[in-house]
Structure 1
Amino acid sequence: MRRAFTIACLAAALILPMAAAQPPSRSPRTNYMTNCQGCHLPGGEGMYGKVPPMRGHLANFLTVPGGREFLIRVPGVANSTLNDSDLAALINWLVPAMGPDVPGGFVPYTSDEIHRLRRMRLQDVNTLRAALIEQMSADRRAAMLGAASR
């Protein structure tokens, strides 16, 4: 009896810390609400002059070289406390949720890709964002720049 109790205690001592270290994943929508909407607001509209809108603009970055990487390297994403898997699920949910239409051939982000990209810190987010917008098609660029002037 004593031996069984000792083994059970040792097993619990080994298993409980592992369970505590990996909290259960929450839905991407819940992760957006708790990690993103404080700045980007519930509908992804952003805050004029401070936080760019995502609604109607996010997928535009997927149409230009470097845009896919940019979405993960921005400070709010790269520095997120979410693990790589939950962050991949969040971004994969956000892209179609915020629009505009997801470009054909979109490949969902993987946790490995998130892991690699979020470690490549951006030095000047605004300059890179502007350069990516300049590469967009005229209609996408006009939509992006129109949102910046609202």
Structure 2
Amino acid sequence: MLQHAVRAVKTVALLLLFCSASAMALPNTPQQNYLLKCSGCHDIDGSGTVAGGIPPLPGYIGSFLDDPQGRVYVLHVPGVISAGLDDTELADLLNYVNHKWGDVKARPFTAAEVKMNREHSVADVVKLRREIVSRFVRDGVKAGTYPWP
């Protein structure tokens, strides 16, 4: 009888250990974070929406990620820094976006770069984009459509 009780206690302990381990959530992949944090505005395919003022990512995001000011801009687009991701997760997400729609030769984001940009706010992100796009147009760099004046 005692052996059965000990076996039952061990079985219950193993089940509790298994259940608690499987209940711990693994971190999201960068693709999952894109779907959860970005696709609401940029859509699953990165196409954005002219009516909503959301520029497309394919064919254009690489221009911004290859440019020092463009990198600052991308990090300060509404919803990026405030996405609830830590510095590493956000760097991984932006690197995923770049590899999916940008320039795979661009310098990857690092957690340190994200942290540094988190600490420095941008007063007017739309003004910053306009300045970058004006320079891109002047230099013949693709900037994507952006319907806001």
TM-score relative to the length of structure 1: 0.71
Q: Aligned pair in 2 of structure 1 residues 132, 139: CA closer, same or farther (>3 Å)?
A: closer
Q: 5+ unaligned residues in a row in structure 2: which ranges?
A: 1-19
* Partner in structure 1 of residue 27 of structure 2: 25
Preserved CA contact (<8 Å) 1:92 1:108: yes
* Partner in structure 2 of residue 110 of structure 1: 110
Counterpart CA distance in 1 for 2:93 and 2:119 is: 18
- Candidates 34, 39, 42, aligned match of 2:41: 39
Preserved CA contact (<8 Å) 2:47 2:57: yes
Opposite residue 134 of structure 1, the aligned amino acid is: S
Q: Report the aligned-residue RMSD.
A: 2.1
* Partner in structure 2 of residue 81 of structure 1: 84
Using the aligned pairs only, state the percent identity. Answer: 31
Off by >6 Å, runs of 4+ in structure 1:
none
Counterpart CA distance in 2 for 1:66 and 1:117 is: 11
- Candidates 56, 61, 64, aligned match of 1:53: 56
The answer to which structure has the higher helix fraction is: 1
Aligned length: 122
Counterpart CA distance in 2 for 1:63 and 1:35 is: 23
Q: 5+ unaligned residues in a row in structure 1: which ranges?
A: 1-15
Q: Is it true that 1:128 corresponds to 2:123 in the alignment?
A: no
Q: Aligned pair in 2 of structure 1 residues 31, 65: CA closer, same or farther (>3 Å)?
A: closer
Opposite residue 148 of structure 1, the aligned amino acid is: Y
